[in-house]
Structure 1
Amino acid sequence: MRPTQLPDTRVILVKISSQEHNVSTNVRIGEGRLGILGGMGSEATAFFLRTLARRSRSTSDQHHVPFVLLSCPEIPDRSRAIEQGNPAVPAIIQMRLAQLEDIGCGAIAIACNTAHYWRGNFASALHVPMIDMVQATALHAARLGATKVIVLGTRSTMNLGLYDHALNDLNVQSIRVSDEIVDRTSVAIALAKSGNQDQAKEQLAHVVDACRSVNSDTIILGCTELSMLAASDATAADFVDSEVCLADACIRWWLARRGEDGNVGVSRSEESVNGA
């Protein structure tokens, strides 16, 4: 006996849902949503998404920030590209950002500190706001009263002073550290990317101890892998977590778009390169 074939109700359900909620099936998939370029690295991006959800303090699914994630782990190493002056890497990133804009995203965030080295070029090519992770983090550090800051991140982030301009504009001094600290931080990031979390945390612990022996009052976690590694210590009084700052800036953008109170985390709004 042949089993009874049930009718395919998928199309019917979609039509009913669209009618009930007045949703047009012709709207672009990213229309008005936050666009996130991630995959640099993949686990750190997943950690950022969890942070975004938790920081929203939403009480129901419907109140979370709607987003479209474009995960691109194939993008070559950003720090190496900066050191070698390789124009292909920022070109790939710019293409991916344009794709997020093309599907209708209302603002775009990049879940990678080092990629913000080219943020001015990215922002000028977009027609929607790009939420600036570096600017949001510098603003938060200044709001907390930071005066002397050590920024931890990839080799290029640290050696080329990715945060220097944003911090200096806020009268916050960025302190250079020894080559050993730069090297150990790079090792910690590489270990995290390869899945060796325990070893990576050990390296980061040595780095943080060394930083605290320097005359500084704040340590900026300027790499999403470092944010992931330091999650259990992220509330330390001298830590400013760039990933949390980016998440808060994204939430404020969404709340402002909805016409709600955007007073989440930092209360400043100058966090997008080309305006929000």
Structure 2
Amino acid sequence: MENFFSILGGMGTQATESFVRLLNHRTITHKDQDYLNYVLFNHATVPDRTAYILDETAENPLPFLLDDIAKQNLLKPNFIVLTCNTAHYFFETLQEATKIPILHMPREAAIEMSHRQNGGKVAFLGTEGSVKAGVYQRELEKVGFEVMLPKTQLQQKVNDLIYRDIKENDFLNKDLYYEILAEAIEKCGCASAVLGCTELSLMEEFATGHKYNVVDAQSILVDRTIERALSDRKKADHS
């Protein structure tokens, strides 16, 4: 297969399935050959990223991710899509391990937010690992936003939704999701929220109809992936 990209996912698997579903759904097609060429690495057994970021005595996911990058180097995709937000804690090390460009989901989300909103206060919602890593906070502050990080009680609700409900019990808890958005945006005085966890992106895909202004990082990554893949295809067709 020529002219393809690779998806480094499986963290978690349901969220990766959501990414691929959106990718295929948003690709404009009239026949089978219009869909995009890609290889999916659904590496479900990568150790928990948040557990390691919070406690470095936990199993380190980086060697597993570097092994994935090494395998993708052999395949030589045009670019790599890293679908786990928390794994962007290791982004620089992963990018140094390959000449193949890796799309940076937090950066793309921050750029998109800057197009939709001219500065102001935004809430960041993600795993405790993503909060501690500070990747989203840095990218959002670069483009002029004040970032509200969840206090303990709100973060616990986010944790419960991600781990207890979605990862452990395959339960899309819409009531808790709406409660989190209301607290993050209304009670904290933010104009909008950035979803920086793919389980929250999965929630946003199915919990439609709420009134809140949300920028879903995974959704933005889907769009950027399609744009880049179609651009690569066009270049190949004209070469």
Answer whether TM exceeds 0.5 for this pair. Answer: yes
1:85-134 CA-to-partner distances (Å, cap 9, x unmatched) read 25731121111122122112111011110001111111121111101111
Native 8 Å contact 2:140 2:147 kept in 1: yes
**Which TM-score applies when normalising by structure 2?**
0.89
1:55-114 CA-to-partner distances (Å, cap 9, x unmatched) read 223333212221100111111111011112257311211111221221121110111100
**Paired position in structure 1 for 2:11:** 40
Paired residue secondary structure (1:259): helix
**Paired position in structure 1 for 2:153:** 180
Match of 2:73 among 82, 97, 101: 101
Instruction: Please say which structure displays the higher CA radius of gyration.
Output: 1
**Paired position in structure 2 for 1:226:** 200
Q: Cα distance 1:223–1:234, how it changes in 2: closer, same or farther (>3 A)?
A: farther
Q: Cα distance 1:131–1:182, how it changes in 2: closer, same or farther (>3 A)?
A: same
Distance 1:95 1:238 in 2: 38
Please report how far the alpha carbon of residue 234 of structure 1 lies from its aligned counterpart in structure 2 after TM superposition: 7.8
1:233-257 CA-to-partner distances (Å, cap 9, x unmatched) read 3885511011111111111111221
Distance 2:105 2:29 in 1: 22
**Paired position in structure 1 for 2:130:** 157
Deviates more, 1:144-153 or 1:80-89: 80-89
Question: What letter matches 1:64 in structure 2?
Answer: Y
**Paired position in structure 1 for 2:61:** 89
Count of aligned residue pairs for this structure pair: 230
Q: Cα distance 1:52–1:180, how it changes in 2: closer, same or farther (>3 A)?
A: same
Native 8 Å contact 1:158 1:182 kept in 2: no
Paired residue secondary structure (1:126): coil
Native 8 Å contact 2:8 2:80 kept in 1: yes
**Paired position in structure 2 for 1:22:** none
Match of 1:259 among 213, 234, 237: 234
**Quick check: 1:77 aligned with 2:48?**
yes
**Paired position in structure 2 for 1:138:** 110
Distance 2:211 2:94 in 1: 33
Native 8 Å contact 2:178 2:210 kept in 1: no
**Paired position in structure 1 for 2:168:** 194
Q: Which runs of 4+ in 1 moved over 6 A?
A: none
Please report how far the alpha carbon of residue 44 of structure 1 lies from its aligned counterpart in structure 2 after TM superposition: 1.0
Paired residue secondary structure (1:57): coil
Question: What letter matches 1:135 in structure 2?
Answer: R
1:155-197 CA-to-partner distances (Å, cap 9, x unmatched) read 1112342201111111122112211111110110012012341
- What is the Cα-based RMSD across aligned positions, in Å? 1.9
Please report how far the alpha carbon of residue 152 of structure 1 lies from its aligned counterpart in structure 2 after TM superposition: 0.7
Question: What letter matches 1:78 in structure 2?
Answer: R
Of Structure 1 and Structure 2, the greater helix share is in: 2
Distance 1:235 1:184 in 2: 18
Distance 1:196 1:242 in 2: 21
Give unpaired runs (5+ residues) of structure 2: none
Distance 2:118 2:33 in 1: 36
Paired residue secondary structure (2:61): helix
Q: Cα distance 1:235–1:242, how it changes in 2: closer, same or farther (>3 A)?
A: farther
Distance 1:152 1:116 in 2: 15
